[in-house]
Amino acid sequence: MHLAAPLVLAELGWMAMGVVDTMMVGRLSAESIGAVSLGTTALNTIGIFAGGLLLGLDTFVAQSYGAGDRADCRRSLINGVWLAIFLMLPVMALIAGTIPVLGWLGIDPAVMRETRPYIAAIDWSIPPLLLYFGIRRYLQSVNIVRPVMLTLVSANLVNLAGNWIFVFGHLGMPRFGTAGSGWSTCISRVYMAASLAYVAVKHDPDLLHTTWRPDFKRMRALLVLGLPAAGQIAVETAVFAAATVLIARLSATALASHQIVLTTISTTFMMPLGISSAAAVRVGQAIGRGDLRGASHAGWSAIGLGAVVMSGAALALISIPHWIARIFTPDAALIGASVVLLRICAFFQLFDGFQVVATGALRGTGDTHTAMICHFTGYWVIGLPVGAWLCFHYGMGAAGLWIGLSLGLILIGAVLLGFWTRTVRRFHPVDHRN
């Protein structure tokens, strides 16, 4: 709880940025909400995959910290930063390339008019975002989590002010509309990266006196562990990207309701995601000091905590869906469409908690392959095909697509819980220091 609570708040702070963006542009039009949906989907599908390549820092830094090897912790951070730098330009180019691709997919022209400038703006947030990812993984793995939380909370104030200024044209600035939300996000992410860099140096001044020459062997080790973790994230974000594109073919209202629901369940997901990060750290630290029983207890405690918070999320989605939808829009038709989807999503919340926390616990042991395989099978082999069939062939629309995704998530959660049960009986920690 001591480690997880600030990380949960940090994840909620991260998600709040998207909520603020959606709420702000929601005052413009349904097309603007759809543009933020498509633009955020493009950024998450590619940018979060690149950030996932840095997830190996969870394992390496936590295990080194548990073993008392601070020099090796610094070595991992430095090469994580270099890896982030090498990724920046290719990732930005790929995100920019999604603009013509979306145009070819038959997206509503009115939505595309708002989407193009939004993606062009938010693409510039990739460099600070990747640096933030790397430094954050290091800090939380050495038990420095409160500054991470405070940075995310204060970054939301920066983002809120930026949206108010750039979206609506206050304080003498031009009215940028939807694109202004993207520029506001860029500014807030520069603030996040700079803040965490300051915290890292303040807590460990030796970082300034350590060689920052890249170690390609260490970067390769980070990639070996991070690539499957990034693949798992890509599989998950891409399936929701595909769902967004499919729903965009229905209508602007269907796309807007999908974005409202996606923003909501992504917010609930942030709670077990923070617990998952704590699980990876605690399990990794226990393995680093040779305490396999402690690693087992840490993993199970995190899974239990995740189940509690996601049960509460399910209850909220069942009992107050109208209130949730009204946070985003006053449009009655949009509220009605969103309520149907929110109630469907309530049924997979518990299993969503199981899958994400078990993934973190497994990552602490050095296992990043299992989650990738489970997510690919559950989403792409089962969930999305079933959902697409219900949506278009059976005529259920967006609700059918979400039913299919729910089925996939339930299966993923159950299988990963089984894999964690098996793993605690025979740990195979990663040795990266030789």
Contact 113, 39 (CB under 8 A): no
Domain boundaries, the chain: 4-423
Rounded to a whole number of angstroms, the distance between the first and last alpha carbons of the chain is 33
Average pLDDT over residues 323-337: 81
d(CA 135, CA 76) in angstroms, rounded, equals 10
SS3 content of the chain, % helix, strand, coil (to 5): 85, 0, 15
pLDDT digits (tens, 9 = 90+) for 106-160: 777 777 777 888 888 888 989 999 999 999 999 999 989 889 889 988 998 998 8
Given a cut of 60, is residue 430 above it in pLDDT? no
The separation between CA 127 and the C-alpha centre of its own chain, rounded to angstroms, equals 17
Given a cut of 70, is residue 431 above it in pLDDT? no
C-beta neighbour count of 131 within 10 angstroms: 23
pLDDT digits (tens, 9 = 90+) for 170-195: 887 777 777 788 888 899 999 999 99
d(CA 139, CA 197) in angstroms, rounded, equals 10
Average pLDDT over residues 285-296: 89
Which of 38-52, 125-139, 291-305, 346-360 is least confident?
38-52
- Residue found under tokens 């793993």: 423
pLDDT at 415: 94
Residue with more model confidence, 353 or 259:
353
The mean of the pLDDT values for the chain is 86
pLDDT digits (tens, 9 = 90+) for 37-79: 777 777 877 887 888 888 888 889 998 988 888 888 899 999 9
Task: Kindly list the distances between the CA atom of residue 243 and the CA atoms of 204, 255, 268, 336, in Å, as whole numbers in the listed order.
Answer: 44, 10, 19, 20
pLDDT digits (tens, 9 = 90+) for 253-263: 778 888 888 88
Given a cut of 80, is residue 382 above it in pLDDT? yes
pTM for the model: 0.78
Given a cut of 70, is residue 432 above it in pLDDT? no
